[in-house]
Amino acid sequence: MTTTAGQLTQLTAGTLVPFGGDRFTTVGDELAAAFRAGDRLYVVHDDGALLHVPAAVSAAVTTSVDAAVAAAEAMRTVAPAAVAAFYRAFADGLVGAWSAVAEANAQDVARAEGLGRSTTRLRVDERVRDQMADGLRGWADVVERDAAQDAPPPRVTHEDWHVDVVTAPLGVVGFVFEGRPNVLADAAGVLATGNTAVLRIGGDALGTASAIVEHALAPALRSSGLPDGAISLVTSRERAAGWALFSDRRLSLAVVRGSGAAVAQLAAVARQAGTPVSAHGTGGAWLVADPSADATRFAAVVRHSLDRKVCNTLNVAVVTRDRAAELVPVLLAAADEAAAARGTVARVHVVRGSEQWLPAGELEREIEVHRAEGVVVEPRASLLEADDLGHEWEWENSPELSVVVVDDVAQAVALFNAHSPRFVASLVGTDPQAWDAFVGAVDAPFVGDGFTRWVDGQYALQQPELGLSNWEHGRLLGRAGVLTGADLTTRRLLARTATDQHR
């Protein structure tokens, strides 16, 4: 490892790099060969990962953050009417330029399929377009409503002076998200509270996102008079762009959405830079059938919770022992109904000891399972250790879930609290006392009594979400919940005095 006047210029294979205070990792041959003067190296102190950021990637991210910082200053004097106009122009532009966006998305999908990657969340259609446009117009309504209310701020009054508590923007928000192009509309919510954003999307969706920016977002910024750097997209497919962005100490908040391991690493990078982070990476909902559950309703809840794979999709189904003989077959049949709508059969993982309630032959039966890499033959049901109940199944067209039979709801809650990401919990039943006990005991921010897919900012709160926090890694800005653009504020205290006073 060589430095010149404090600047790292090259790496030597075999060099020991300390991390975490009492551990070290080693520079590998590939990293040493790739590193050039001007590049950056970050050490993740959680696990010792060495993150290489090429100079060109670092420069591109720095340019975007520079523009966002300047735009944040300009946003202080932007009228609410201009922000509302931006949202409506963005929505109209999205609809008007949809053919270009759809073409770019088709190319992204073809590229991802050629690489054997998942395309479930990458594909966009007119329904997604309309949801994005509705969300943007919703933000315009929110901005106008808040401006019209013009309510006085909370005030604390003293004998001859007073203090007003007012809200203020956070500043620049760094946002790294998975390959879901529709998240661009969600991220635009930061402008509603006067913030700016630098976005980095997964490489598979970069073409679609770039088309949205070119044909809808950027023209809307110009037509409404908002600064160009208010929202920018880092046009790099390299993961290093996310590392560089979250290492920039000028960010006021880092928001990350995606798969668990990548989210955890990016969150660690932001924390090391001293930036607050809101991480949204591990999902998977749990559904518990209370002994009082109605079988027909339980089946409907299962079916509607498996319609597609997103973070709030049913991942673990729990049935109490006294109803297992009846409800496990109901559960499997409902999962198969959800799968049939996608032309497939459900894939099941049964906790060891619960397999006795499976219909005969399910462990030996083989089915075709649709994976990102193609159709593969796998067992219909396989055994799972209880310690693995926290695993989130990422599926394409074949719904996949874990099943466990327990003694009672208290044991179900104990398993949830011990093994789940502490995200979504649902109890199906008709006993109000059981529901109250469940709500009090389960360690989850989102608790329901039916289908799990209600956990969505747009659906539940009618606000496009930046992310859904679990209680494992997402307790920023309140214990947990839905993070939207409306939440991205801080407080200022304004003091006005009638006379000069001293303490």
Shared-domain flag, residues 272 and 289:
no
Strand ranges inside 2-115, DSSP E: 2-4, 7-10, 16-19, 23-26, 40-43, 50-53
End-to-end CA distance of the chain: 56
Q: Are residues 488 and 437 part of one domain? A: no
Residue 478 has pLDDT above 80, yes or no: no
CA distance 203 to 267: 19
Q: Which two tokens stand for residue 83?
A: 């922000």
On whether residue 471 sits in a domain, the answer given is: no
pLDDT bin (cut points 50, 70, 90) of residue 479 is very low
Give the chain's mean pLDDT: 91
Which of 173, 172, 147, 141 lies closest to 78 in space, CA to CA? 147
Domain count, the chain: 3
Q: Is 427 left (phi over 0), alpha (psi -120 to 50) or beta?
A: beta
pLDDT band of 190, cuts 50, 70, 90: very high
292 and 428 assigned to the same domain:
yes
310 and 240 housed in the same domain: no
Could you tell me if 199 and 184 are in contact, meaning their C-beta atoms sit under 8 angstroms apart? yes
* Domain CATH for 386: 3.40.309.10
Give yes or no: residues 229 and 268 share one domain. yes
Is 196 found in the same domain as 132? Answer: yes
> What domain range is 31 assigned to?
2-56
Residue 500 counted as domain residue: no
d(CA 33, CA 48): 19
- pTM score of the predicted model: 0.85
Q: Is the residue at 415 inside a domain?
A: yes
Residue 289 and residue 275 in one domain: no
How far is 168 from 193, CA to CA, in rounded Å?
Answer: 8
Same domain, 35 and 81: no
Pair of tokens at residue 321: 């022992």
Over the stretch 248-280, which tens digit does the pLDDT of each residue have?
999 999 998 877 788 889 989 999 999 988 888
- The stretch 378-407 carries a mean pLDDT of 95
How far is it, in rounded angstroms, from Cα 276 to Cα 192? Answer: 20
Residue 102 CB-half CA count within 13 A = 10
Q: Does residue 403 belong to any structural domain of this protein?
A: yes
Q: What is the CATH number of the domain that holds 94?
A: 3.40.605.10
47-72, pLDDT tens digit by residue? 899 999 999 999 999 999 999 999 99
The answer, yes or no, to whether residue 357 has pLDDT greater than 60, is yes
Residue 411 maps to a domain: yes
Degrees, nearest 5: CA angle 486-492-494:
135
Per-residue model confidence (pLDDT) at position 499: 76
Report yes or no on 28 lying in a domain. yes
The pLDDT score that the predictor gives to residue 471 is 63
3-class DSSP assignment, residue 391? coil
CB atoms within 10 A of CB 172: 27
Q: For residue 398, which amino acid is it? A: S
Residue 80 φ/ψ, nearest 5 degrees: -55, -35
- Do 203 and 117 fall within a single domain? yes
pLDDT above 90 for 288: yes
115 and 248 share one domain: yes
Judge whether 43 lies within some domain.
Answer: yes
State yes or no: pLDDT of 503 exceeds 70: no
Q: Do the domain assignments include residue 464?
A: no
Residue 427, pLDDT score: 97
Say yes or no: 334 and 363 in one domain: yes
Query: Which pLDDT does position 183 carry in this prediction?
Result: 84
Domain shared by 40 and 86, yes or no = no
Tokens of 211: 């088309």
| CA 176/CA 277 separation, integer angstroms | 11
Q: Which residues of 236-256 are buried (b: 16+ CB within 10 A; e: fewer)?
A: bebbbbbbbbbbbebbbbbbb
pLDDT range class, residue 126, cuts 50, 70, 90: very high
User: How far are the Cα atoms of 10, 11, 30, 276 from residue 33, in angstroms, in the given order?
Assistant: 9, 8, 5, 34
Mean per-residue pLDDT for 283-294? 95
